[in-house]
Amino acid sequence: MRFDREYDVIVIGGGAAGCFGAIKCAGYGNSVCIIEPNQKLGRKLAITGKGRCNLTNNCDNETLMKNIPRNPSFMYSALSGFSAADCMDFFEGLGVPLKTERGNRVFPVSDKAYDIVDALYKEINRLGVTIIHDRAKHILTENGAVTGVQCGRKSYGAPKVILATGGMSYPVTGSTGDGYRMAAELGHTITPIKPSLVPLVTVDDCSVMMGLSLKNVVLTLKDEKKGKTLFSEIGEMLFTHFGISGPLVLSASSYINEMESDRYTAYIDLKPGLDRKQLDLRVQRDFKEMQNKTLSNALVKLLPSKLILPFIKKGRA
């Protein structure tokens, strides 16, 4: 088959994994191209962590493994070859200063995800990696060996192909599931796809609280079918027009194995620093100070304003 151009390595996908793979391969002197349908690389990367980009966690591999809820052994070889410390060294080596925040979360000092994207893009250009804006259709093979990639407009040859298309988490950014199809065409077995690290849709209408962000609250997720607590941590979360999201919720979602409506309940402790007795005294004090006010006005010191009416309605239900 005649190819429009040939390379040592073709990378399908210009996200975080694809860019990193291209940089490493080009660093060893290979001719490399990235095939990416979007006009910009790292589109999903640019919006992670509320636009701040939580790169990694500043801890050792053992700690990382303990905090992977599903099949942590799958990550063993990858983390052994490239640890969180290696990740931090890599980006700081590209000129991006990093910082460690609560929970050992690592962010760029600038709090701008685009600084991470720009650093990858500059290194890709420095190493002479070619960027082709097209959609990969098929990985081509001959006699059981990879020979190249067929795209929508042209075909490109290479004896090595890195499939880094991501999953199906955010189709508008390019994660459309194409990688599963191409892998299946090559004979790979595709396990059932399940969502993880995602916002949660709630039965209760949360639209009136949309945009409300809560800090230093405890979110507890329970499997009512099994009568088991799956997750309980302190941190940040927020309400959306469809339910709940934010760091705590994304982490909690990874513990849900079977997506069944009405099976799981999320409990929010707004005052985790107070026990029941202390909270009772706090409420009594507020009501005494606001004894001539309406109930909604009496709760202004205890609850965020967007939570007051839903809280009262829930109490009456």
Tokens 């999953």 map to which residue? 167
174 and 37 in contact (C-beta within 8 Å)? yes
| Domains 5-185 and 195-273 are alike in CATH topology | no
Residue 196 confidence (pLDDT): 80
Residue 316 confidence (pLDDT): 59
* Residue 114 neighbours by CB under 8 Å, 6+ apart: 46, 51
* Residue 52 neighbours by CB under 8 Å, 6+ apart: 107, 108, 111, 112, 113
Residue 171 confidence (pLDDT): 78
Residue 63 confidence (pLDDT): 93
Q: Let me know if domain 5-185 sits in CATH 1.10.10.10.
A: no
The full 3-state SS of 183-207, as one line of letters, equals: HHHCCCCCCCCCCCCCCEECCCCCH
Give the predicted TM-score (pTM) of the model.
Answer: 0.81
CATH number of 195-273: 2.40.30.10
Every domain of the chain and the residues it spans: 5-185, 195-273, 285-317
Tens digit of pLDDT at every position of the chain (317 positions) = 789 999 999 999 999 999 999 999 999 999 999 999 999 999 989 988 778 999 999 999 999 998 888 788 889 999 999 999 999 999 999 999 999 998 899 999 999 999 999 999 999 999 999 999 999 999 999 999 999 999 998 999 999 999 999 888 777 777 888 999 999 999 999 998 888 888 999 998 889 999 999 999 999 999 999 999 999 999 999 999 999 999 899 999 989 988 888 899 999 999 999 999 999 999 899 889 888 888 888 888 889 999 999 888 876 55
Report residue 174 as tokens.
């390019």
Q: At CA 172, angle to CA 176 and CA 15, rounded to 5?
A: 70
Residue 139: name the closest of 165, 118, 114 by CA. Answer: 165
In Å, how far are 7, 9, 89, 161, 199 from 29, measured between CA atoms? 11, 11, 21, 16, 42
* β-strand partners of 163: 12
